[in-house]
Structure 1
Amino acid sequence: MEREIETKCIHLEEDEASIQHFGSISYPIYQTATYAHPAVGQSTGFDYSRLQNPTREHLEKVVASLENGVDALAFSSGMAAITMLMELFAPGDHLIIDSDLYGGSIRLFDHVSTKNGICFSRIDCAREDVEAYVQDNTKAIYVETPTNPMMNVVDIAELSAIAKRHGLLLIVDNTFLSPYLQNPLDLGADIVVHSGTKYLGGHNDTLAGFLVTGREDISEKLRFLIKTTGAGLAPFDCWLVLRGIKTLGIRMDRSQENAMEIAKWLRAQKHVTKVIYPGFEDHPGHEIMKRQSRGYGAMLTFQVENKDFALGILGKVRMIRFAESLGGVETLLTYPTTQTHADVPKEIQEKNGLTDATLRMSVGIENVKDLIAELDRVFHEIENGQ
C-alpha cells in the first residue's frame, strides 16, 4: 500500500527494518571527503564524496520518493541543478521555454546556454500554442507552474502529450508547489527541478537544488554529469534539508491557508489594483490546478497603484521581511524588478505584466491575524503620509 506523502516526508520505508547508524533517529552527517577501501577491488559502496556521500544519498532517496521518481540528485543550489541539466543538450539544440521564469534561469539561458550554442524560443506556455514552436532541432520544453512571479499555470499533461509526439523532454520546475502539492512526473514530465532552498529546506538557512526523474536512461546521464562537474550538495546542507522535509506537510498546509486569507484581504484594499493567486476561482489556471495539484500554494503576486506605494510597503514592513527568496517559515516580500528579475530585459518584464508596482509575497506560517495586522498598519501609514 502506497504511503501518504506526510509519512514519506519523515520515513524512508526501505530503512525501517534495519538498525543502522547506531539507531540514530536523525540521519547522521557523514562529514568526510573520502572513504577507506577494505582491499584492492573492494569498496564500502562509497569512494569519494564528489561521487556520493551517505547523507546525500539518503536525502536523494527521500526526494525521489516524494516525487515518485526513480532517482533524485542533490546540488549545491537550484541554479547549480539547472546549469548541469543544460549539459544534456549540445550546440545547435533548441528548447521551448516559458517567457515567465525565475530571473536566474533566464540569465543562465541568455548568457551561458546561448553562448554554448543552445537556442531558445521564449513563449507564454499557458496561452500560446506550444506545438507550433517545435522545430527539427527542438529537444525539450522547459516550464514552471505556477510561474515566477506572475503565477501563470500550464497544463503539464497537455505539454507531456506534445513532448511525446515529438520525442522531446518535458522539464518542470516544481519549486513553487513542492512535491507535497504537485507531482509533475505523475503527469508525464521527464525531469522535475527544485530549488531545495525553498519549501524543501523551509527555513531560509541553506541553499540546495534537485533534479528528479522517472527514467533510468536520464538518471544514468545525470549521474555521469554530477560526478564530472562536482556540483553535489555538501553533507551538512543535506542534513539541513532532510530536517526541513520532515515538516514539509504541516508547513505547506499552514502557509497555503494563510496565503488565501491574505489574498482575500489584499483584494479588498483600494490601493491594490490586482491580486494574482491561483486559489481564486477567476484565476485563468484555477481549473487546471484543481486537476493537476493538491492545492494552490503559498505564493501570490499583487500590483499596487504606483511605484511609490510599492516602495512604501517595502520600507515599512517589520515582521514581514523585505527579502529575496521564498518557501521558508517567515513571510517575505520581494520586489522582482530589482531583485529576482533584475536581469530580465525590460521588454520581457512588460510583456509578462511585471511592473515597478509589482510585489511578490511568499506567505509563511505565522498567525495570519498578525500578518494582516502588519499589512493593515503599513497601508494606513502610507495613506496618512507617516
Structure 2
Amino acid sequence: MANYKDIESTLIHGGVYGDRFTGAVNVPIYQTSTFEQEGLGKHKGWEYARTGNPTRHALETLIAELEKGKAGFAFSSGMAAITAVLSLFQTGDRVIISRNVYGGTFRVLDKIFRNFGIKYSFEDTSDLKSLTQKLSKDVKAILLESPANPLLTVTDIAGIGKIAKENGILTIVDNTFMTPYLQRPLELGADIVVHSATKYLGGHSDLIAGLVVVNSEELAERLGFIQNATGGILAPFDSFLLIRGIKTLAVRMDRHVENAQAVAKYLQNHEAVKQVYYPGLEGAQGYEVNQKQGKNGGAMISFELKAPYKISKFFSSLKLIALAESLGGVESLVCHPATMTHASIPEEKRKEIGISDALIRLSIGIESIQDLLFDLEQAIGESEK
C-alpha cells in the first residue's frame, strides 16, 4: 500500500496497482470460480471466488485506502452492503436511522430485519441534544446519511461519533452522496462507512455495486465472515469496472459540484421555486457543519416548485435531464422521491419527515452548464401552462 500525499493520486495508484505477472497497469479480470491448489492445505492465497478473488480484493484494498479504514468489502449492490452491515446485530437490538434516509434502507429494516426482532426508530440525527435523550440500552447503532437523501439534511458526524462512543454504540455512515473524495467519515469518528458504489464511485450508470469500510480489525473479521457466509459478493468484471470508475472520481466530482453550485444558485433565485435543499448554499441547514466535515456541498439538489406550477408537466418537459431512478452518473437525472426512491416509506411517515409530494430531486451531471440551465428553464416554463 503506497502512501500518496493527495487523494487524487491514490484514486489512480492506490490499492493493488497493476499486475506483477505481466506488468499490465490495470488489475486483470480474474474470471474464475475456483483456484487450483498445489496440495492439501497449500494454495497461493486463493481458494474459492466467493471467499476471495484478486480483482475484488484490489477494489476492496482501494476503497479501504481511500476511506482510511482497516478493511474494505465489495458487495453485489448497495443494499447487499447495507444488509451485511445490519447482519451484525441481534434480536432485541435497535438501530437509530436518520429521519430522511434512502427508502431501501428503511424497507430492509422494516420488512426484513424487523422479522428477526431487530428494531429501528427514525430520529433527527442533526439535533445532537435531542438524539442523546433518545438513546436507550437497546440502541446498538446509529445509521445516518449526511447529506441525507432526499432533503440533504446535514448531520455532525464527529458529534454523533463522540456520543456513540460514550454509549458503546456503532456509528454507520452512508457516504454515497459525498464519496471519500469529498468526505471521510471514519476520520470524523464513524465506525463503518457504506457506499452504493453504483452511484458516483462507478460514475457511468453501467454497474450495480456496494462497498463497506470498517475502522477496526474486530469489525473486519465479523463483516468478512458475514460476506463469505451470505455470499452477496461483487463479480470480478464489475469489480474491474468499479476500479476504472474510481480512477476518474476526482475530475468527475469537481465538474459535478461546479455544475451543482450553479444550478442551486439558479433555482434559489428563480421566482417559480418555493424551496431549495442544497448544503452548499450559504444559509442552508447544516451549511457550517458541512463546510467543516466535507470538501463542499456535493452534487445532489432537491427543490419544490410553487403553485400553480405542475411537477408532472415539469418532468415530462425535460429534454436533456432524464427522469430515472439512481444518481451519480455523468448524465444528469431527475426523480420524484415520493413515488420513486422513497415510495416504500408510508405516506404519513414521508409527510412527517418532510418528503412532500412536490419534492423534486436532481442528480447534477457533467454536461454543459448552459445546456442544463436551459433545460431547467424551459421545463419550468412549460410546467406553468
| Matched-pair contact (CA < 8 Å) for 2:15–2:62 | no
Amino acid in structure 2 at the alignment position of 1:60: E
Query: Which residue is 2:167 aligned to?
Result: 166
Aligned to 1:279: 280
The CA deviation at 1:39 is: 1.4
Residues 1:199 and 2:200 aligned together: yes
Residue deviations 1:5-53 (CA, integer Å, cap 9, x gap): 111110026647xx61411112211111011001111011111110010
Asked if 1 retains the 8 angstrom alpha-carbon contact of 2:100 and 2:353, the reply is: yes
| Separation (CA, whole Å) in 2 of partners of 1:58 and 1:14 | 5
Equivalent position of 1:106 in the other structure:
106
Q: Is the 8 A contact 1:306 1:357 kept in 2?
A: no
AA partner of residue 131 (structure 1)? T
Name the residue aligned to 2:178.
Answer: 177
Instruction: State the shift of 1:307 in Å.
Output: 8.5
| Contact 1:51 1:227 (C-alpha < 8 Å) held by counterparts | yes
Cα distance in structure 2, aligned partners of 1:154 and 1:359 = 21
1:300-347 alpha-carbon deviations (Å, 9 max, x no partner): 100112486211111111211000111110000011011000010112
Distance in 1, matches of 2:69 and 2:340, equals 33
C-alpha displacement of 1:234? 0.3
Structure 1 contact 307–357 (Cα < 8 Å) conserved: no
Consecutive unaligned residues in structure 1, runs of 5 or more? none
Matching of residue 334 in structure 1 with residue 342 in structure 2:
no
Q: State the SS of the aligned residue for 2:22.
A: helix
114-123 or 184-193: which moved more? Answer: 114-123
CA–CA distance in structure 2, aligned partners of residues 141 and 112 of structure 1:
18
User: Corresponding residue for 1:212?
Assistant: 213
* TM-aligned CA distance change 1:90 to 1:296, over 3 Å: same
- Corresponding residue for residue 372 of structure 2: 371
What are the within-5 Å matches in structure 2 for residues 115-130 of structure 1? Answer: 115-127=115-127, 129-130=130-131
Counterpart-to-counterpart distance in 2, 1:61 and 1:175:
18
RMSD: 1.3
State how far apart, in whole Å, the 2-side matches of 1:307 and 1:225 are.
Answer: 51
Deviations 1:170-202 (A, max 9, x none): 000000000000000000000001000001000
Maintained 8 Å contact 2:55/2:240: yes
In structure 1, what is the Cα distance between the partners aligned to 2:5 and 2:21?
24
Distance 1:14 1:49, change over 3 A: closer
Tell me how far 1:206 sits from its aligned partner.
0.4
Distance 1:297 1:49 in 2: 36
**Unaligned segments of structure 2, at least 5 residues:** none
The residue aligned with 1:61 is: 61
The CA deviation at 1:136 is 1.3
Does residue 70 (structure 1) correspond to residue 109 (structure 2)? The answer is no
How far apart are the structure 1 equivalents of 2:138 and 2:144? 18
Q: Offset at 1:3?
A: 2.2
Aligned to 1:357: 358
Q: Which amino acid aligns with 2:144?
A: V
The CA distance in 1 between the partners of 2:268 and 2:308, in whole Å, is 18
| 8 Å CA contact retained: 2:15, 2:59 | no
What one-letter code is carried by the residue in structure 1 that aligns with 2:5? R
- Provide TM-score, normalisation by structure 2: 0.97
| Mapped contact 1:99–1:348 kept (Cα < 8 A) | no
Partner residue of 2:246? 245
Instruction: Indicate if the aligned counterparts of 1:302 and 1:359 stay in contact, CA closer than 8 A.
Output: yes
CA distance in 2, matches of 1:382, 1:327: 26
Could you tell me which amino acid in structure 1 is paired with residue 370 of structure 2? K
**Structure 1 Cα separation of the partners of residues 43 and 307 of structure 2:** 63
Counterpart Cα distance in 1 of 2:131 and 2:323? 36
Q: What TM-score, normalized by structure 1, do the two folds share?
A: 0.96
**Superposition pairs of residues 256-295 of structure 1, within 5 angstroms:** 256-295=257-296
The letter of the residue matching 1:273 is K
SS in 1 for 2:205: coil
Sequence identity, in percent? 44
List 4+ stretches of structure 1 deviating above 6 A.
none
Q: Do the aligned partners of 1:74 and 1:208 also contact (CA within 8 Å) in 2?
A: yes
Q: CA deviation at 1:361?
A: 0.3
Aligned mates of 1:64, 1:95 — CA distance in 2:
24
Partners of 1:307 and 1:89 in 2: CA distance:
48
Distance 2:139 2:376 in 1: 46
Q: Name the counterpart of 2:97.
A: 97
Shift of 1:379: 2.0
Distance 1:83 1:187, change over 3 A: same
Determine helix, strand or coil for the equivalent of 1:179: helix
1:303 aligns with 2:317: no
Residues 277 and 329 of structure 1: is their aligned pair in 2 closer, same or farther, counting only changes over 3 Å?
same
Contact 1:53 1:235 in 2 (8 A): yes
1:189 corresponds to: 190
What is residue 80 of structure 1 aligned with on the other side?
80
Helix, strand or coil for the counterpart of 1:223?
Answer: helix
Query: Does the residue aligned with 2:13 lie in a helix, a strand or coil?
Result: coil
Change (3 A) 1:203 1:13: closer
